[in-house]
């Protein structure tokens, strides 16, 4: 396979969504509250469509079926078959998302015939005092948790962090979390749309109905353990990929680019995804050149090992693959 791949964003109208994806990331939409832009998706019935080159119009499912390991990597194809293992998003929360968590693989398979949902967040922009809810701030039992849920006092036991551009949070399955109002971020996750919503701020849909809560399903899926800090620390070096997160489901590096970088992926048996989270960069493979602006994404097939990345301004990429 010899083409760098761009995909059409799949835009999602959400009760909590806003206008940043349109105004800041140029995601053209007539939707009123765009909360998510699915950049690369193989969620059931919603596969991404190729935007560029000779493969334009084909969807991700068709590409995997045709190119197999040349697209995703031989080990990944052996493991996942025709299912693409990651869902790549940009998210804008004008209002706070529900407080929620995701089940682990075994539970998700048993209940929903789905993968679990381990994910990570990279904050791209945050309004003043905007926050994320991640994990518990004190040890509680399931009985104490239910008491706080019934009393609508969950925030008394949950960890709330004010956040800034560049902050990173890793969200393993079972960890209670919510994106607060005023945060725009990049999200990398397992391919799954299984969410256990435990509290939705008592807000209603436009038609007066309420979104489902999953109190019983969540009880045995919650991780009640606590950590001193839930934020992921990392360092950046210009023109060198620096690891942020590595787990069985994905590895994410940050790559600060200025000038030219020759990237070699010979040691990887995986596709590589780049998300531009700041600035503007160009990717060159043989005679193909693709320009990525903030809020755009590109997929490098596993068969392509050498790519030139260039930027005339300080820019930042997230580099995502599977080990």
How many beta carbons lie within 10 A of that of residue 201, not counting itself?
12
When divided into structural domains, the chain yields a total of 2
Task: Write out the H or E segment, with its range, that includes residue 71.
Answer: helix 69-72
The predicted structure's pLDDT at residue 113: 85
Whether the Cβ atoms of residue 318 and residue 274 lie closer than 8 Å to each other? yes
Final residue belonging to a domain, choices 169, 203, 232:
232
C-alpha span between 116 and 109 (Å, rounded): 7
Give pairs for 141-145: CB < 8 Å, separation 24+.
141/224, 142/219, 142/222, 142/224, 145/222, 145/224
Containing domain of residue 54, as a range?
Answer: 10-232
Task: Write out the H or E segment, with its range, that includes residue 82.
Answer: none
Q: What is the pTM of this model?
A: 0.95
Final residue belonging to a domain, choices 232, 254, 279:
232
Examine the pLDDT at 31 and tell me if it is beyond 90.
Answer: no
| Mean pLDDT within 150-157 | 96
- Residue 4 domain flag: no
Examine the pLDDT at 205 and tell me if it is beyond 90.
Answer: no
Same domain, 209 and 269: no
Examine the pLDDT at 79 and tell me if it is beyond 90.
Answer: yes
Output the domain CATH number for residue 280: 2.60.120.10
**How high is the mean pLDDT of the chain?**
96
**Residue 175 falls in the annotated catalytic set:** no
Which string of DSSP letters, residue by residue, matches 196-227? EEEE-TT---TTS------HHHHHTT----B-
- Residue 3 domain flag: no
Same domain, 280 and 147: no
List the one residue out of 40, 49, 36 whose CA is nearest residue 272: 40
- Residue 71 domain flag: yes
Given 6, 79, 111, 197, which residue is catalytic?
Answer: 197
The predicted structure's pLDDT at residue 178: 98
The predicted structure's pLDDT at residue 206: 84
Final residue belonging to a domain, choices 198, 232, 266:
232
Q: What 3-state DSSP class applies to 78?
A: helix
C-alpha span between 108 and 113 (Å, rounded): 6
């Amino acid at each position: 396979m010899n083409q760098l791949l761009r995909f059409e964003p799949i835009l999602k109208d959400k009760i909590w969504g806003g206008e940043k994806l349109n105004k800041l990331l140029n995601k053209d939409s007539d939707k009123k509250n765009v909360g998510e832009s699915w950049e690369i998706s193989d969620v059931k019935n919603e596969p991404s469509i190729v935007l560029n080159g000779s493969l334009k119009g084909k969807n991700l499912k068709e590409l995997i079926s045709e190119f197999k390991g040349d697209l995703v990597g031989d080990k990944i194809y052996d493991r996942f078959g025709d299912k693409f293992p990651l869902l790549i998003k940009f998210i804008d929360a004008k209002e706070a998302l529900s407080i929620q968590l995701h089940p682990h693989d075994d539970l998700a398979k048993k209940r929903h015939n789905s993968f679990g949902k381990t994910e990570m967040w990279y904050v791209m922009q945050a309004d003043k005092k905007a926050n994320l809810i991640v994990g518990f701030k004190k040890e509680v039992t399931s009985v104490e948790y239910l008491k706080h849920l019934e009393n609508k006092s969950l925030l008394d036991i949950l960890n709330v962090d004010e956040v800034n551009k560049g902050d990173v949070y890793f969200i393993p399955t079972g960890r209670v979390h919510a994106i607060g109002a005023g945060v725009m971020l990049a999200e990398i996750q397992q391919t799954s749309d299984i969410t256990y919503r435990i509290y939705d701020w008592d807000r209603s849909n436009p038609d007066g109905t309420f979104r489902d809560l999953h109190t019983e399903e969540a009880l045995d899926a919650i991780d009640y353990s606590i950590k001193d800090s839930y934020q992921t620390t990392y360092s950046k070096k210009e023109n060198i990929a620096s690891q942020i997160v590595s787990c069985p489901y994905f590895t994410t590096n940050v790559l600060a680019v200025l000038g030219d970088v020759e990237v070699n992926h010979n040691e990887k048996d995986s596709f590589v995804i780049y998300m531009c989270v700041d600035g503007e960069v160009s990717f060159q493979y043989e005679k193909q050149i693709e320009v990525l602006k903030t809020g755009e994404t590109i997929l490098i097939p596993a068969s392509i090992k050498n790519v030139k990345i260039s930027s005339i301004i300080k820019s930042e990429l997230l580099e995502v693959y599977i080990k």
